[in-house]
A and B are shown apart, each in its own frame.
Chain A
Amino acid sequence: MYRYDEFDEQIVRERVEQFRGQVERRLDGSLTEDEFKPLRLMNGLYLQLHAYMLRVAVPYGTLNSAQMRQLALIAERYDRGYGHFTTRQNLQYNWLKLVDVPDILGLLADVGMHAIQTSGNCIRNVTADHFAGVAADEIEDPRPTAELIRQWSTLHPEFEYLPRKFKIAVTGAEEDRAAVSVHDIGIRIVRNEAGEVGYRILVGGGLGRTPMVGKTVRDFLPRVELLDYLQAILRVYNRHGRRDNKYKARIKILVHELGAAEFTAQVEEEYRQLERDGIAVAEAELARIAQYFAPPPLDERAEPSDLLAKAREADPALELFARHNLVPHKVRGHTALVLSVKPIGKPPGDATAEQMRVLADLAEQYSHGEMRITHMQNVVLPHVRLDDVPAIHERLLEAGLAEPNAALITDIIACPGMDYCALATARSIPIAEDIQRVFADPARQAEIGKLSIKISGCINACGHHHVGNIGILGLERMGRENYQITLGGDPGNATTLGERLGPGIDADAVPGAIEAIVDTYLELREGPEEQFLTTLARVGHDPFKPALEAKKETADASA
């Protein structure tokens, strides 16, 4: 696993002390809030409805047991005993006091963690496929590339004050699990006809107020040219991005306004003019970094595992869990185990300190000390022997982390919404919980099959509602919470933005409407193999429209 080198360590320590000084000066009145706010945001510290919120970076979602234990300690000592895993593969604390934050940052630094570049108009933490280095469909582990970009972009003077925040995602697999085409820059590791590995570069994707799917600006970029090419893209953006209007400042707007062809031409022109002396460095650096991500020594083992097969037969709960939460591993006899942080009726992505410690212990014992945070707000044990699954399952049951619902309808993404977030227009978490309760029965979930619901509490779309098979957006209408439902979103290879089904509905009508949509799907699908998006593409939105109306009546009637 990647370790910070001494250089990183020193930067992080200096930042902690610098921030300690800044907090002191804010508290004694020598800094105004206007002066202080950008400084705290640069350290990942937001002020939310009830307290300060700290966003801790988990680069490409990979972390080790010692780090997870430290996160648990901080949750216990400084928060209210829990943390929240987010769609940005981060962890957020919800209840911090400003005066404690410098000490918290110090504790994070002790385990090589920080909150730098989790906020502000800089290049944010690079995200990657959470099955990196594990997935059977992978051309190459995306994390060395992600890490190369992280090192290059961290505190890069030219890109500290971009027109707006900038998010980069990398995937090295055939199936895009990192939603790269809804990022400012999406990078796909690909192989060309000659069999060489390089990059496809997408620019200008994003969600939020103006959702856009990224456009391919280079089909195949030779590997060594990556940083120079990114530099060219960022220079064009830095020069022409709209600084006059926050809502038009993202690169997606620039790409859209110029058109993909013109934007690409400008990038290529900029690229031609760059002095390219960084290339050799990048190549050596990439090789050096890749060593840190070398897979742990896993011996091939018998597959399928007899032990697991017998245990599955004897234990229906394990059977369900194994059917839904195991992901094929590159190495025979192993699996990447998805631990659902979505127990029915609880806030999606919240984990208690106790649960974090269980995760850390399990990772240490069964997964070479390694965990991943997914943008689905779950945790993965990436290197588990199939033989060990029954023992792990038992521990997960005790810890409340054994929900057999990975990628099923109750594996809902929800942003914090108005229960925490100062920007929210409506709540998200209670809506997620109510929907989970409707579909709690595991047999029913299994019958429905893979179906994603994603919920955001305002137009900023932190819950990715645009790319949910079913998306829910919470707004306000005449002093009440009001929810818009979209159908057809897909974050993967065929990235599609969902389309609105109709007028918004009240909170208490949402679970019923979702149930009616799902019932309609079950009725119309051509067989259990036909997934929701396929049915929708075949029949269109119309058959689903009555769902909004019908359920409003039953909700009224039962009220």
Chain B
Amino acid sequence: MEDSRSPSGQDMTREPNSALRAVDVLFEASTAVWRRPVRTLLTALGTIVGVAAFVMTTGLAATASAQVSSSFDALEATEVRVQDVQPDGSHLFPADVDVRLSALNGVVAAGVIYELRHDEDLAARGSPSLNGGVAAQIPILAASPGALDASRVTVGSGVLYGSFHADRAELVAVLGRVAADDLGIHDVSAQPAVFIGSRAFTVVGIIDNAVRNPGLLLSVVIPSSTERKYFGSGGIEAEVVIDTEPGAASLIGRQAALALRPDDPERLRVLVPPDPASLRNAVESEVTALYYALAGLSLAIGTIAIANSTLLNTIERRSEIGLRRALGAKRSHIVRQVVVEASITGAFAGVVGAALAVTGIGIISSLREWTATIEPLLVAAAPILGLATGALAGVVPAARASRTPPAVTLRS
């Protein structure tokens, strides 16, 4: 102070500067925002709606497409079956179906399954000690170990036979739950036997459930290699069952016939599920394109809204801005303050908008009995989105405000 009042001349070579500290910009801007909550809310309203609509539409898009994909049966989507086009009783499939198909990328389990031809001699009978040797009308199935796995079999008691048994064509069998009841067998620990023809098969396990082949529950099931060795019937309705990785079904469907019968792939009919990926994508891209267009639109409207009200705001505060200029604010100081105010307002709108959107998605999802799928990143990004919107929207009003002539303070 002593300096600036001292007689003219010497100390005036020091160029005075107009300076505004960053912390002061922040404080001035945030005070302008929070001291007038009603005005801020009105300024933010358009952006609140915009961000809410943005988060809500993208959130709903995610929720809706999650519904679409879950409506595709996962079981069905990973199942491939190969059947005979012209059954003639001969052995259609090679003995090593399991091995050939397992070599394909995307196969979880695969195997052949068929029913033995009905024949009085081959009726299955229980052990005389268990059920008086009464013959029952029980179907007999031959299945390679891979076919049991691919049928998604669950074991109630004992174990399934595996390749160890199958490779040796051993005389083993597993019983379906219903067949086991008919035969009076409930426990395999005593190694009960069933008779097919004159041969005794050791029962190693009882199947509790077989989601892909419920027929297994009614049957006596023996390894296909054992069937070939002792009966060689060729079987009827032979079918290869393949369990694939999710999304691999159509690929496997294209490769299976050639892998099984390189000599005559035409003879085989391959059944693949509708490709869930392409179906979902079709639905999704339509739905999400619409949603994202709406979201973008609402954000654009939000930007325009905040720009508009910030502009009105600065016009209304013309005398305050003129005062700041009269007190020594440079144009850039005014620009900074208005942009920061708009950014703070935008960030606030982002928080409120995201909160509204999450609530909205929750309500809609519960009405539709959907599972709400909200990307947490999107919700976290909402305030930043709002801030960017505000900053962008603040530029034009800020530039205008900064051109306020300081002389307005003397004319109002």
Partners in one complex: no
